[in-house]
Structure 1
């Protein structure tokens, strides 16, 4: 209307040569595996096989602060929402700007901005930045969250105080919008982490009772994934403009790196739509339907952040293992900045780094399942070679030390006399406690599914059907005496394959409340995998994709779970009933409720469990290690005098006898 220029000019540098991408930690994997599919398909890419990469606090390479936060989710005590089938009750709309006095009725109360989504394109952000041309009272105050590189780590710490002071000045001048921007990042200036600045300013304003007087907008090159946006919104951001991710997508299109031929406008709309869909899915895990309820709610647990940082920037967030201080965060910021703008002339491989964060790469982050370990275990099994298994155990021990919390623990052998081996429970009895992971027929082949069942039946352990049902004919004994029957029958929210015969033919009935690789989400089987036999087993239609809803349609409270447990015991009195939970803060209280609901068995799954198909956000950032969840569950059950009522089990990347011993 005023003729303002809202466009922007794309630089001539190529994706692989852009120093800003390197300075903000972009990797080739993130660009090709996440940004490309989001821009092309308008939805987040699917991953599989779980997460065997190291936790952010144990990573060898500097990580962004977002990766230290784990998403919380609803299980048992309240239901998640189905973001697909219940989309009508979900909204990303949010009013931003001064709220005024809630006790007074006046026209000024309505004078706020309505944003249809917290995600802003560069043009939309430019329009918001120049809103004072249309509404003079809507002044915008931009806070530069960069600082001179020459000031070093102390400059990073001083910048935090300066950012808070400038936000307070904006309030005193009655500015309506505060923009936190890292646009000034260059060879001479380093950016403070956008989430650190956002959380700090948000809590500074809350502590001084100023937060409702202003909108907080973030213009950042750092955020690019769904999880990054969720953390920013969860810690107080009203709107976000991920300008560098948008520029990266447009450069990829210019260089022919996106498989679909789309216009720049379509690519950016697709990227924004995929972010919106991802935010809705994360909100739905907690049973939250509107962005206004999610904004500033801090529904995360910090895994590896020190109390000094949490108290100032993320007040009230649970952090159990401590870790990153302001000084260490600053060191990571300088390490990333050096990759994009090196202060010395060094010989390096051109292009974006292959960090190996998602898939194993030589020279990248370590993975629990590396090629050496896989080769050794395959040789040990095929040739019954003890030395290969010893090599596998040693290799896994080293990798687990690099990647997991249990790798930091060791056994205390002091003042303890060894017990003669003939007094130890024999291995033939120990293996009866072993069970396979819940892998459905469909996520793996019939050959794999039935072979696991035969093997566990021979050992005396138990195999798990997963949520895809099981063919009744597998209960028949084979000519050689083996049986392909799975002892554990799982009941998930989709109820695929669940019949009276299915329930009656079980030694254990497992109610799947959540899955380690994607807690708060339902199982997913693409349509091209649903063959005739799979469809018959699941009582569905061939070729039609199957997605279990996140909530069980009949479980909205612990009382509802108790009713289902009772019904299952009536359907099969000789079977024990198990409830599958996922590790998170507070899982101990939930497990206590499950024990009181008369469950016989509780399974605590870790965040790193496998999956046939899940969004990368769920695989990488939801749930916690089983070490924390198992310890909390055991201690809470003991405190409530409930430990003797239930059997407690755990799963999640258990690799060797040492892992089993630590779990016990």
Structure 2
């Protein structure tokens, strides 16, 4: 349908550094966003200011008036290239003498193992530098040579390594960077490649997969061109949505902006290949990334009979047997339902134990923490008589500003009633609250569903003169 896939907010899988599955490098990065209740830009209602136009090639010096008159750059309407689009770029030198394209392969012989990745990365950067100095002004990074005997460096790592090497050498503005890879398939993947320097991306394996699907279940509904166009359209919508969360309206501004934080990557790795990216929680380095890459390659081209005619189950978004572990299991949900519907304390304790055990199995960062008692740190416990009573402590409790539209009336009013009962405060969030909740009851008493804190910024939803 040309629409981005819909999923729930949040994830209950382990962060990649804690997972026992070999994870793609993209999953170690989290997109930053401007922390306001509305996105800084609404990419749908404010589409006039949004643009996916990308320019491939050398960036001219805008102060060089004479040079600017002769400079040329290749304009693409949006950054996701079909296989045909990429071939046009690769052969553009035959028809336009101001462009010259060099394709650099970032695969290497599997016999070199994980240990060979560092050397191959350095070699890739040297080849890119030599290409720019040799007069090439468009570089295509390609993993098309991947196969049983050749393993590919992760596309994000290869792109970022070349991007930052050329920046350090003062050559980045002299060349355009295009990525041809079978690895990217989700919106997050494309955004990361763009954020670390890719001016255009050709996800050839995604197209091959879609065309293969079209020949089967969709052959009567859509032709090959339709499924490719719909995919590109959906990816474009997704990129616009992600850009808008930081108030960025054009792909040109997003490209190379690295609006990401790393979670679980070592500062040495980030400092060399993702310079300037924040990584507050240390983790794996190049050695572990290489090992996981080789493990995925062996799974793809190995002799495992389970994977002979089918892909790994994955289980990233839905709990699957043998897939990625999830905090919310069927048993946990069932015990929570029993606890809520039957007001059963035993079922709640069972649910609580399951969730705490899940956290301690390292599904969450907080599962790595414990609270130390006073004795453990050599201090004397405070007498209970000196501790504030619970009735006083809860007066400082307040709920997060979750809008009515985001969590439903039932959840919204339950939070308000609970806070009113204990003496805390609930926040309506941006959606305000319905008028029947702040009107006094017939007997003149305060409505128990009335939120103590009213949020009226930005006034776009649910706020009335009343």
Same-fold status (TM-score > 0.5): yes
Of residues 150, 155, 166 in structure 2, which corresponds to 1:194? 155
When residues 140 and 330 of structure 1 are mapped into structure 2, their CA distance, relative to the original with a 3 A threshold, is: same
Is it true that 1:461 corresponds to 2:424 in the alignment? Answer: yes
Match of 2:434 in 1: 471
Could you tell me how far apart the structure 2 residues matched to 1:431 and 1:354 are? 46
When residues 313 and 473 of structure 1 are mapped into structure 2, their CA distance, relative to the original with a 3 A threshold, is: same
Of residues 119, 130, 139 in structure 2, which corresponds to 1:158? 119
When residues 348 and 135 of structure 1 are mapped into structure 2, their CA distance, relative to the original with a 3 A threshold, is: closer
CA shift, 1:119, in A, is 1.2
User: Does the 8 Å contact 2:138/2:178 carry over to 1?
Assistant: yes
Look up the SS of the partner of 1:304 in the other structure.
strand
When residues 152 and 404 of structure 1 are mapped into structure 2, their CA distance, relative to the original with a 3 A threshold, is: same
Is it true that 1:92 corresponds to 2:55 in the alignment? Answer: no
Which consecutive unaligned segments of at least 5 residues does structure 1 have?
1-40, 502-664
Match of 2:280 in 1: 320
Of residues 197, 204, 221 in structure 2, which corresponds to 1:261? 221
Match of 2:316 in 1: 357
Structure 1 runs of 4+ aligned residues shifted over 6 Å read 478-482
Look up the SS of the partner of 1:54 in the other structure.
coil
Q: Which runs of structure 2 are paired with 1:56-455 in the superposition (5 Å)? A: 56-75=16-35, 80-102=40-62, 103-106=64-67, 109-256=70-217, 261-342=221-302, 344-347=303-306, 350-401=309-360, 402-413=362-373, 414=376, 415-419=378-382, 421=384, 424-455=387-418
Of residues 434, 437, 449 in structure 2, which corresponds to 1:484? 449
Could you tell me how far apart the structure 1 residues matched to 2:56 and 2:9 are? 40
Look up the SS of the partner of 1:353 in the other structure.
coil
User: Does the 8 Å contact 2:148/2:301 carry over to 1?
Assistant: yes
CA shift, 1:199, in A, is 0.6
CA shift, 1:488, in A, is 3.2
Aligned residues: 458
Q: Which runs of structure 2 are paired with 1:40-51 in the superposition (5 Å)? A: 41-51=1-11
- The CA deviation string for residues 351-379 of structure 1, in whole angstroms up to 9 with x for no partner, is 23332222333433233322233333343
Could you tell me how far apart the structure 1 residues matched to 2:68 and 2:61 are? 12
RMSD: 2.8
Could you tell me how far apart the structure 1 residues matched to 2:111 and 2:254 are? 39
When residues 500 and 98 of structure 1 are mapped into structure 2, their CA distance, relative to the original with a 3 A threshold, is: closer
Could you tell me how far apart the structure 2 residues matched to 1:494 and 1:129 are? 51
CA shift, 1:140, in A, is 1.8
User: Does the 8 Å contact 1:202/1:236 carry over to 2?
Assistant: yes
CA shift, 1:232, in A, is 0.9
CA shift, 1:482, in A, is 6.7
Could you tell me how far apart the structure 2 residues matched to 1:436 and 1:209 are? 50
Could you tell me how far apart the structure 2 residues matched to 1:353 and 1:192 are? 20
- The CA deviation string for residues 154-186 of structure 1, in whole angstroms up to 9 with x for no partner, is 122221112112112212321121111011111
Could you tell me how far apart the structure 2 residues matched to 1:433 and 1:252 are? 56
CA shift, 1:277, in A, is 1.9
CA shift, 1:250, in A, is 1.4
Look up the SS of the partner of 1:43 in the other structure.
coil
When residues 136 and 185 of structure 1 are mapped into structure 2, their CA distance, relative to the original with a 3 A threshold, is: same
Could you tell me how far apart the structure 2 residues matched to 1:86 and 1:362 are? 43
Match of 1:54 in 2: 14
Which consecutive unaligned segments of at least 5 residues does structure 2 have?
none
Look up the SS of the partner of 1:354 in the other structure.
coil
When residues 442 and 106 of structure 1 are mapped into structure 2, their CA distance, relative to the original with a 3 A threshold, is: closer
CA shift, 1:189, in A, is 0.9
When residues 425 and 129 of structure 1 are mapped into structure 2, their CA distance, relative to the original with a 3 A threshold, is: same
Could you tell me how far apart the structure 2 residues matched to 1:63 and 1:494 are? 42
CA shift, 1:240, in A, is 0.6
Could you tell me how far apart the structure 2 residues matched to 1:170 and 1:56 are? 35
User: Does the 8 Å contact 2:258/2:277 carry over to 1?
Assistant: yes
Could you tell me how far apart the structure 2 residues matched to 1:89 and 1:270 are? 22
